Amino acid sequence: MRDLNINYEGMPCYKICFRPDFNDLLDCFNLEVNRKYDNICIVSDSNVAQIYLAEVLDIFKQTDSKVCSFSFEAGEASKNLETVNMLYEHLILKHFTRNSLLVALGGGVVGDLTGFAAATFLRGIDFIQIPTTLLSQVDSSVGGKTGVDFKGYKNMVGAFYMPKLVYMNLGTLNTLDDDNFACGMGEVIKSALIADKDFYEWIKLNKDLVLAKDYEALAHTVSKCCEIKGHVVEIDPKEKGIRAYLNFGHTLGHAVEKLCNFSLGHGQCVSIGMVCALYLSGKLNYITDSEILDAINLLKEYNLPVSVSGLDAGEILAASKSDKKMTDSKIKFIILKNIGEADSYIDFSDEDLLFAIDKVLE
């Protein structure tokens, strides 16, 4: 499996290194970043820190930098400005400068929060991504989106800020529980639905290998998703056009995530949102009923929810209108023109959206 170069505004920006372990993390760091830092802080959460922090600390202590760590309570509830403020204070007390580095070791919450802190501390310092979940490897660590939630509103405060390196140890996926693995598969299936019909068919045919966490199957899955997202991001780095296609399933998914108070994982909520988007795509006569049911069945086979209980359709609709993807007073909704081909649509009525939301309410 080859490494992947990501360009930004037509110029080489950073490399994604795919590896089975951490054995050449330092070599990749020295080769791709090629800069000496006065201080390095490894940022992690309480779950990941127990498993991988000591090993990664030992690796970076082989550099000439002063190395420290910062950990926070795992979970979406920590992805906020309060946690960022604590990280800022930690960096100030450790005398971090513009010649310092942050290392995001963990899942999407860690990566998004660390990237945002790097973008804003001292008006910007370097950071690298070491994603340890399937969700972060196939999605959030690629593309330079950083941010935190604000009073429950998803990713309302953020910045586009590129890492210097993304190092993916695929071996970390073996320590994921079933729910976290399923969350990652939600983004995998999304990537296939919006951009690659052949990959969609591959996911269906290789379900047993993927669920068994076969290394070659996971390597193909992760690298393919990175290729898809990397290609989109290179064309549209700041989401002024086709990058919005990556939000398939996210608008109503984010609303469900907020109203559930993050009791469901991000990928699980995206799965529910994708079901809504599939039905809306069918309502436009772009995809058939059999294609809708086939995609819903695939979500189920990868242990993803396709419905939710205890929520009100009107509340989901109202919450979706607080989404940052609004265009004027209308929701910019991502639909499928075909399996493997996405488009945007802004002319859905409230009745259309309630029709789709009703499909996922138990």
Question: Residue 102, exposed/middle/buried by CB under 10 A (0-12, 13-18, 19+)?
Answer: buried
Question: Is the Cβ–Cβ distance between 348 and 207 less than 8 Å?
Answer: no
Q: Is 300 helix (H, G, I), strand (E, B) or coil?
A: helix
H or E, element range at 116:
helix 108-120
Q: Which tokens go with 243? A: 């990058």
On whether the pTM is more than 0.85, the answer is yes
Place of tokens 């580095």: 101
Write the DSSP string, 166-205. Answer: EEEEGGGGGG--HHHHHHHHHHHHHHHHHH-HHHHHHHHH
Side-chain-side CA neighbours of residue 202 (13 Å): 16
Residues 6+ apart with CB under 8 A from 349: none
CA distance 69 to 362: 44
Residues 6+ apart with CB under 8 A from 297: none
Q: What is the pLDDT along the chain (362 residues), one digit of tens a residue?
A: 689 999 887 778 999 999 999 999 999 999 999 899 999 999 999 999 999 999 999 999 999 999 999 999 999 999 999 999 999 999 999 999 999 999 999 999 999 999 999 999 999 999 999 999 999 999 999 999 999 999 878 889 999 999 999 999 999 999 999 999 999 999 999 999 999 999 999 999 999 999 999 999 999 999 999 999 999 999 998 888 899 999 999 999 999 999 998 899 999 999 999 999 999 999 999 999 999 999 999 999 999 999 999 999 999 999 998 765 656 667 889 999 999 999 999 999 999 999 999 999 99
C-alpha dist (Å) from residue 341 to 62, 149, 195: 46, 30, 5
pLDDT at residue number 153: 85
pLDDT at residue number 3: 95
